[in-house]
Chain A
């Protein structure tokens, strides 16, 4: 497998006047999980369709596992697995029959099909329900089965389109555990998700898109580190005058008072000690100081707000 599993070069797709994907350029190294984040309608699903060769790009190109998505879609689909927006399971068939069908599609031998189905269904805790019609299953179980189907033929690259969307906390956690186990096996995963905790926990690289345009790319820690830091001060003696002084400082981007707490957002490299000195000198009784980086969710929201402002 090439070192770069996916390479996008100014990938663009228009639907009449709508630019669903716009000049998207990025590399996904083999063996990593890329979290592809963006609000609804940002172009995540269209990007997956383009990468699988299901849609042709209007401009630019995508190479997946070394194959051109425009001309070698068949080669790409031969070597990848996909869990798309819907599970795509045949609900009137049993779990075994669903896997049997896709096992035949991937040309696994009857022995391989049986062995792999047993292995996957057992690992995902579905073996005892293998003879049930999938339609009678819970959504979490269906999602796990769809994941099993996507990796049935041991593909080196898997596309997962919001695999935990609409699941309850426990079911989502179970699917995340499966994804974490997959990540350890060296497979490359292209994961679209709305869940920032999921992206933070699973992804080695995160790409954020908005209106089809890439607006941030990096390791979750890098993205968090490049954005504002937060300082929370617990104590008494906060007043509007102090807030005004803090807000006027160049290293403070925001300051807010909530009962006995003062929440300050600073630039990523700001030193907290001068701020504490300033507060103590202004008569504040400081009881506790907590310092932390913004969460990926906060980074995401900030990026979305910046995008809105720039439009």
Chain B
């Protein structure tokens, strides 16, 4: 099984920068987050980037962006390019196909997050040098990496489910983008309004007695549960007989 997962991930890796029409897109995908989250934001945030938690924006945005771009292409793309039936006719187990593709998307998202956090550290040290090396606090590293993994897992699960129902890569990407961005876009202002009107309902007020770490643990736990539920659903739906009929 492990070998099969690696084989599928190997093919995804080979395919990543080989699609001629996507070369510019791939380059922009690589350069845009570097410019924003590895140069501009850390430069602007200064020491707050390494110890104040600003880097959490990168830990959320980077995996979201990478998975959004890769997972739809990986799943809906197989159907759009008429390669899915042949793949399903091979000896690969359903689970190996799903996990190989998911592992590739999550792995790439994590790698990209790490690279961006590393470049951002160089940027902060270069632009805000005060005689001693600025490094991330252990808590920031744990939160950033844990959060980026959970976000990647969550978006991958949603991406698989959406891709299975989409006729094309474009449709899958658009639907996934809407599914990922709409909840915070709608919920954000609502929460802001509620917390202004009733300060006692602010998350900090509600969870204050748990402390920062406790609050984070609860948030991570909820995210993990949601990600596992979505991924389990994706695994249940990803079956040959269902895929071949679509």
Give the distance to chain A from B55, nearest Cβ to Cβ, in Å. 35
Which one of A74, A88, A97, A159 contacts B83 once the chains associate, using CB atoms below 8 Å? A88
For the side of the interface on B, what is the size category?
Answer: 20 to 34
Given the known inter-chain contacts A55-B244, A88-B85, please indicate yes or no for A104 contacting B14, CB distance below 8 A: no
Contact yes or no, A105 B240, CB < 8 A: no
Are the C-beta atoms of B244 and A49 separated by less than 8 Å?
Answer: yes
Instruction: State which of A3-11, A76-84, A212-220 sits at the interface with chain B.
Output: A76-84
| B246 surroundings in chain A (CB, below 8 A) | none
The residue that B82 contacts in the complex, of A54, A88, A101, with Cβ under 8 A, is: A88
Q: Which residues of A contact B82 (CB under 8 A)?
A: 85-88
Residue B198 is within 8 A (CB to CB) of chain A in the complex: no
Cα of A265 to Cα of B238 in the assembled complex, Å? 56
A55 and B241 contacting across the interface, CB-CB below 8 Å? yes
Choice from A88, A97, A107 contacting B86 with Cβ under 8 Å = A88
How many of chain A's residues touch chain B, expressed as a range?
A: 20 to 34
A221 at the interface (CB under 8 A from B): no
* Cβ contact within 8 Å between B89 and A77: yes
Q: Do A77 and B91 contact each other (CB < 8 Å), given the known contacts A56-B241, A86-B82, A107-B3? A: yes
Bound CA span A102–B240, Å: 18
Answer whether A106 and B91 are a contact pair too, CB < 8 Å, given A97-B14, A101-B10.
yes
Interface string of A200-215 (1 = CB under 8 A from B): 0000000000000000
Q: A92-B15, A101-B7 are in contact. Are A84 and B90 (CB under 8 A)?
A: no
In contact, A86 and B91 (Cβ under 8 angstroms) = no
- Interface contact B241-A90, CB-CB below 8 Å: no
B1-13 Cβ-contact flags toward A at 8 Å (1 or 0)? 0011001001100
Contact B83 A77 (CB under 8 A): no
A54 and B11 contact, CB distance less than 8 A: no
Q: A92–B241 contact, CB under 8 A?
A: no
CB distance from B23 to the nearest CB of A (A): 10
Is B197's CB within 8 Å of the partner chain A? Answer: no
What mask results when residues 225 to 246 of chain B are scored 1 for a CB within 8 Å of chain A, else 0? 0000000000000001100110
B188 interfacial by beta-carbon distance below 8 Å: no
B240 CB contact (under 8 Å) in A73, A85, A92: A73
State in angstroms the CA–CA spacing of A173 and B245 once bound together.
32
Q: Are B4 and A84 in contact (CB under 8 A)?
A: no
What per-residue 1/0 map shows which CB atoms of B70-106 lie under 8 Å from chain A?
0000000000011101111111110000000000000
Known interface pairs A55-B241, A55-B244, A90-B11; A102-B90 also in contact (CB < 8 Å)? yes
New contact pairs (11) apart from A92-B18, A106-B91, A133-B20, CB-CB < 8 Å: A55-B244, A74-B93, A77-B89, A77-B90, A84-B85, A86-B86, A88-B83, A90-B81, A92-B20, A106-B90, A149-B86
